[in-house]
């Protein structure tokens, strides 16, 4: 190796190593990481059922509201939730658009292009519903979950051209809930998610 090329190699190694950890956001990467219904054993809405699309205006965070251990079987939980939604609630699908397990894996719920459902006193039309599995009245969210929520919120902002001021929590809209729980809600209150999205370049 002659001198100039070794200098070039060293310089490029240094620039690689000094790369700051990315605040960069790659929507394709987030999208491709979402586990589709087919993969967790879900059954999509039957083609003969008519559903009205909605225009996305809000990004709204929820928690599952029941304890969800790190070792719990998320696909099994989702299959139960889907069948309960249809048989007991008469909903077309899971109430939420995306669900996040304790490892930060993101699962596809109901299509985000149609309104979700709720047992509480607000109209979820226009809301992208992100649900972190667990009861955050008791548990603390971990970093993998916070990162997954951030990525999903960024994906929603990118895909539907939304600003960070439409990020909120369930209890901002409904009076009869503590969702997303007193240990997760502070991340909305103190602007944690909004700040991380701004670092990615969202307004
Ligand atoms: Zn909720």
Class of the CATH domain delimited by 24-199 = alpha beta
Distance 203 CA to ligand 1 centre (A): 25
> What is the 29 CA–ligand 1 centroid distance (Å)?
27
**End-to-end C-alpha distance for the chain, whole angstroms:** 48
- What would the pLDDT profile of 85-105 be if each residue is shown by its tens digit? 999 999 999 999 999 999 999
For residue 30, report the distance from its CA to the centre of ligand 1, in Å. 23
Ligand 1: centre distance to CA 185 (Å): 11
Strands 98-100 and 106-108: antiparallel
pLDDT band at 2 (very low <50, low <70, confident <90, very high): low
The alpha carbons of the chain give a radius of gyration, in whole angstroms, of 20
User: Which residues are near ligand 1, the ion (C-beta closer than 5 Å)?
Assistant: 62, 170, 179
- The pTM for the full model equals 0.88
Tokens found for residue 95: 């109430």
CB 68 within 8 A of CB 101: yes
CA dist 65 and 200 (Å) reads 30
Q: Whole-angstrom Cα distance, residue 18 to residue 13?
A: 9
Could you report the per-residue pLDDT of 60-79, keeping only the tens digit for each? 999 999 999 999 999 999 99
Residue 109 pLDDT greater than 90, yes or no: yes
Q: How far apart are CA 18 and CA 20, in angstroms?
A: 6
- Cα 158 to chain centroid distance, Å, stands at 13
Separation of CA 11 and ligand 1 centre (Å): 51
pLDDT of 125-167, one tens digit each? Answer: 999 999 999 999 999 999 999 999 999 999 999 999 999 999 9
Domain ranges of the chain: 24-199
- Other CB atoms within a 10 A radius of the CB of residue 185 amount to 21
Predicted pLDDT of residue 24:
78
* Of 96 and 20, the one with more pLDDT: 96
- The alpha carbon of 170 and the centre of ligand 1 are apart by a number of angstroms equal to 5
The residue count of the chain comes to 203
CA of 41 to the centre of ligand 1 (A): 23
| Ligand 1 centroid from CA 193, angstroms | 17
What is the CA(153)–ligand 1 centre distance, in A? 16
């Amino acid at each position: 190796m002659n001198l100039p090329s070794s200098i070039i190699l060293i310089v490029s190694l240094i620039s690689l190593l000094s790369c700051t950890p990315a605040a960069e956001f790659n929507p394709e990467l987030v999208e491709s990481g979402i586990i589709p219904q087919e993969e967790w054993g879900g059954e999509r809405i039957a083609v003969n059922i008519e559903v009205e699309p909605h225009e996305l205006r809000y990004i709204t965070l929820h928690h599952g509201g029941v304890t969800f251990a790190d070792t719990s079987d998320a696909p099994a939980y989702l299959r139960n939730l889907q069948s309960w939604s249809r048989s007991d609630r008469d909903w077309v699908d899971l109430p939420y658009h995306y669900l996040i397990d304790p490892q930060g894996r993101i699962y596809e719920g109901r299509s985000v292009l149609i309104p979700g459902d709720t047992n509480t006193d607000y109209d979820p039309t226009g809301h992208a519903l992100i649900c972190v599995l667990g009861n955050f009245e008791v548990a603390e969210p971990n970093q993998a979950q916070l990162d997954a929520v951030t990525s999903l919120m960024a994906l929603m902002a990118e895909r539907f051209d939304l600003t960070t001021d439409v990020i909120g929590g369930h209890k901002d809209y409904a009076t009869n809930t503590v969702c997303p729980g007193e240990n997760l809600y502070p991340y909305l209150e103190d602007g944690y998610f909004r700040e991380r999205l701004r670092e990615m370049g969202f307004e």
